[in-house]
Amino acid sequence: MKRLLALLLVIPAFAWASTAKTPLDRAPGNLHDKVSLQRGAAIFVNHCLNCHSAAMMRYARLEDLGLSEQQIRDNLLLATDKIGDTMTTAMDPAVAKAAFGIVPPDLSLAGRSKGADWLYTYMRSFYRDPETKSGWNNTVSPNVAMPHVLWEYQGDQALQVTSRMDPNTGDTKVSHKLVLERPGKMSPLEYEQYTSDLVNFLAYMAEPAQSSRKLWGILVLFFLAGFFVLTLLLKQEYWKDVQ
């Protein structure tokens, strides 16, 4: 059983495997920002759930983000009609494998297995590449099977490769830079906020209780610190007359 659980945890890591050494940008998400999480949930349902599933997340859990049951039914139940169901995709795995060469991984734990910084950088690092099957590539995960599903919002990026010779060593240094060739429906700042909301929700979905867990952890530490002080004072009171 333990081996099976370990395997399930590493499957997304294999599916999202990356050999790139691209520096990761800091994800600006805030797990206490419920408005951002609500927007991220809507983005996930409308763009990611078409191919990916989140089998460990139930629609009903979105009520914790401040959404009413009716709001969830009206705006987010696109693949089912039961609010108690998990977020599963309607795409047939066989169709997905034929289209992408791989079954898209479940994203329930993507926020933990890859990390928010990786996901945030990844979603902003797609560029046009006619050599790939999908016509897209990614600097964070080279030759990734996933196409750029948000290209209409970000626009078309191109990978600009430049090389120069180091005057001291004579070595050739190659640098890579993404350049926006054709703007999308959003400005760069708007797209960064859009992907930030999506990544924020993915991080929340990976561990919905982490905010309350951290809060309780801090409260417990304060309790232990106070208890330690009381214990120390009590010890001094008991032993003050002992020579």
Helix axes 34-43, 188-206, angle to 10 degrees: 90
Is the same domain home to 243 and 158? no
Q: Which two tokens stand for residue 133?
A: 């099957």
The domain total for the chain is 2
The percentage of residues in the chain with a pLDDT greater than 90, rounded to a whole number, is: 60
115 and 221 housed in the same domain: no
Sheet strands (E) in 61-123: 86-87
Which letter does DSSP use for residue 1 in this model? -
Tokens 């399930």 locate to 8
**Between the CA of residue 68 and those of 61, 62, 75, 88, 190, what are the distances in Å?**
11, 8, 11, 21, 27
Average pLDDT along the chain = 86
pLDDT in tens, 159-182: 998 888 777 777 788 788 999 999
Model confidence band, residue 83 (pLDDT cutoffs 50, 70, 90):
very high
Enter the tokens of residue 69.
């049951």
Residues whose CB is less than 8 angstroms from the CB of residue 55 and which lie 6 or more positions away in sequence, other chains included: 86, 87, 88, 106, 108
Question: What does the pLDDT read at residue 1?
Answer: 47
Mean pLDDT to the nearest integer, 72-94: 89
- Tell me, yes or no, whether 156 and 229 share the same domain: no
- Could you list the residue range(s) of the whole structural domain that residue 228 is in? 216-243
Which pLDDT band holds residue 215 (cuts at 50, 70, 90)?
low
**pLDDT tens figures, 37-51:** 999 999 999 999 989
Q: Which residue has the higher pLDDT, 74 or 208?
A: 74
Q: Is 9 in the same domain as 49? A: yes
How many angstroms separate the CA atoms of 161 and 170, rounded? Answer: 19
Query: Higher pLDDT residue, 214 or 231?
Result: 231
98 falls in which pLDDT band (50, 70, 90)? confident
For residue 152, pLDDT over 90 is answered with: yes
Cα–Cα distance, 192 to 181 (Å, whole number): 17
pLDDT at 228 > cutoff 50: yes
CB atoms within 10 A of CB 188: 13
Say if residue 162 is in the same domain as residue 224. no
